[in-house]
Chains A and B, each alone.
Chain A
Amino acid sequence: MQVNGVAVEDTFAEAFAMFGARVLITADSEKWAMAAARSMTGFATSVIGCKCEAGIERIVPAAQTPDGRPGVTVLLFATSAESAGKRLVERVGQCVMTCPTTACYNALPSDTTVVVGGLLRYFGDGYQAAKLIDGRRFWRVPAMDGEFVVEESFGVQAAIGGGNLLILGEDTAPTLAAVEAAVDAMREVQGVILPFPDGVVRCGSKVGSRYKTVIASTNDAYCPTLRAVSSATRLTQEIGCVLEIVIDGLELGQVEEAMRRGMKAAARPGVRQITAGNYGGNLGQYKIGLHALMSGT
């Protein structure tokens, strides 16, 4: 299959069951809501080393937020609901609560919930107060600029992590241009985030290593400089640069849509092939076939 003259390999991305949450941060201005969101989603590229994966989903206009102030939604993914809860407490506590004028609300209705505000309230040292409004419970934690309002419980739901695309290009510049275009297109899809720096991974990994204590190591099959010496190489000689985009999403359909848009946008001059990473289908719960995506099945 070709898209815009770029070959799409007949393979699948192997993705994993995770747990996701959606947090809405509001503040007096979009600037401060974004400051909190950036801080909260920092150091959250991969569960391997960061315990969670998080990213900014979208800006929410003031008219659509519960308190009528500008907002930003953040998605956070972890390997279990409990872990998602702990990370939320840590990150909302250290990065949102600390940021001027913010408030923090649950934006994912779910039967499964984790306690966040209900734990952060203790920072109030006895001066905190709760309010129940229309069935939702919020905590007011006194702070130096007034009060930090945070919802008591946040919803978590089964989600998907590790959807991915590998873009194989002739040189760094065109490959970068392709992934940048892909990231722009994928960010339009609600419910997904691209957890790596501005959405892109340059050191894709494989499971295992010659070193016993190292869980993952460089994906030598896609390293151009190792084409001549790695027995696992998947590259032809024209390939000068490979970049990967990883997608986490709340619903499978959203991950698939993001991948579809990403492939279309990345199929540009200088890109030779689009493929995806998997583990033979033995580890992940989801297999997202690239051809099926493009042919709409």
Chain B
Amino acid sequence: MSLTLTLKNAPEVPLEAEAISPERLEGMSASQAAGVAVLYGNRQAQLGDFFGIEGTGDGELRVVGDCGRVKRIGAAMSRGRLLVEGHAGMHLGVGMSGGAILVKGDAGDSVGMEMLGGLVVVEGNAGHLLGSTIRGGRVGMRGGEIIVHGSVGNETGSGMRRGLIAVGGDAGDFTGVNMLAGTIVVLGHLGWRSGAGLKRGSIVSGRPAEILPTFRYACAYRPVMLRLVLAHLRQRGLPVSDAQLRGRYRRWSGDAVETNRGEILLLEQ
């Protein structure tokens, strides 16, 4: 039995709802959950003002409805399962360290910002700054996995330190900007200036891309490591093709502006 929150009153200004996380509502009855505080614009409100609530919190949480203006769902969660049947707003899973979030629709900007662990899967598209760092923070995502079946915006994985980001569709510009380590896989097209400021870490794409002049081409080869990553992503439900799994990849080393120990791998067409 899980707790189900069904959106009944769409917020007009954004709703900050980090209370919507399995452990925050664990052990609560529907009426207790309805009384939990949320920030609506500049005033305090209650979850029950926006959601109809049924069931009991037993570690699994379902959110139903178009929650595109509901922010910070799953923020800082460390365990449990959270299912959003609809869209999710900005800052989904920000700072989370464990547990799993699944969004059946789209997600907003800043999904999994400064994430430490856990798993986020978005079946639709996501916005900008996926798995990124907070401005002024040098280190972004430190662990965990974010998988988006659709496309994402700009600055995906900025400042990433560890973990895995995978995108089934296209990515915007500046993928992996200032990345420290970790792996970003974009099965579709990369945008402009991927890997700017890359220190270590891998950016992989299944399509050709324009590469910054501060990267140097090394060779074309079949990276075994990539087979491990892509096989793992296939298991997670991302449709990786055999051609992508077994293909030959062209490797660029960079960013020469940093330590030159990162790589961009593009599938040879």
Contact = CB atoms under 8 A, between A and B. Distances in A.
Touch test A–B (CB under 8 Å):
yes
A103 B223 CA distance: 11
A69 interface: yes
Interface stretch (B3-11, B34-42, B64-72, B224-232): B224-232
B164 interface: yes
A129 B224 CA distance: 13
B221 interface: yes
Interface of A: 26, 66-69, 103, 129, 131-134, 138, 140, 146-147, 149
B245 interface: yes
B231 A146 contact: no
A95 to B, nearest CB: 18
Contact of B227 (A69, A132, A134, A140): A69
A65 to B, nearest CB: 9
Contacts of A103: 224
B199 to A, nearest CB: 11
Nearest to B183: A131
Given A68-B246, A147-B225, 9 more contacts: A66-B231, A67-B227, A67-B231, A103-B224, A131-B183, A131-B202, A132-B163, A133-B183, A133-B229
Contacts of B164: 133
B225 A138 contact: yes
A138 B223 contact: no
Contacts of A146: 221-224
Contacts of B231: 66-68
B128 interface: no
Nearest to B261: A129
Nearest to A132: B162
A138 B228 contact: yes
Nearest first, the 3 closest Cβ-Cβ pairs linking A and B are: A67-B227, A149-B224, A146-B221
B200 interface: yes
B147 to A, nearest CB: 12
Contact of A67 (B143, B162, B228): B228
Given A129-B200, A131-B183, A133-B164, A140 B232 contact: no
A133 B145 CA distance: 9
Given A129-B261, A133-B164, A67 B183 contact: no
A108 B162 CA distance: 25
B116 to A, nearest CB: 13
A66 B228 contact: yes
Contacts of A149: 224-225, 228
6 contacts: A67-B227, A129-B261, A131-B183, A133-B183, A146-B222, A149-B224
B252 to A, nearest CB: 15
Interface in B215-255: 221-225, 227-229, 231-232, 245-246
A33 to B, nearest CB: 12
A26 B261 CA distance: 27
B222 to A, nearest CB: 7
Contacts of A67: 224, 227-228, 231
A68 B227 contact: yes
A147 B227 CA distance: 12
B120 to A, nearest CB: 15
Output the residue of B223, B227, B231 with the most chain A CB within 10 A.
Answer: B227
A149 B226 CA distance: 10
Contacts of B223: 146-147
B224 A133 contact: no
Contacts of A147: 221, 223-225
A67 B234 CA distance: 12
Interface string B183-198: 1000000000000000
Nearest to B145: A134
A133 B232 contact: yes
B31 to A, nearest CB: 39
A134 B162 CA distance: 11
Given A68-B231, A131-B183, A140 B225 contact: yes
A134 B221 contact: no
B203 to A, nearest CB: 13
A30 to B, nearest CB: 16
A132 B222 CA distance: 19
A146 B246 CA distance: 14
B242 to A, nearest CB: 9
A133 B261 contact: no
A33 B143 CA distance: 33
Contacts of B222: 146
Interface in B139-180: 143, 162-164
Contacts of A68: 227, 231, 245-246
A68 B261 CA distance: 27
Contacts of B202: 131
Nearest to A136: B228
B160 to A, nearest CB: 12
A143 to B, nearest CB: 11
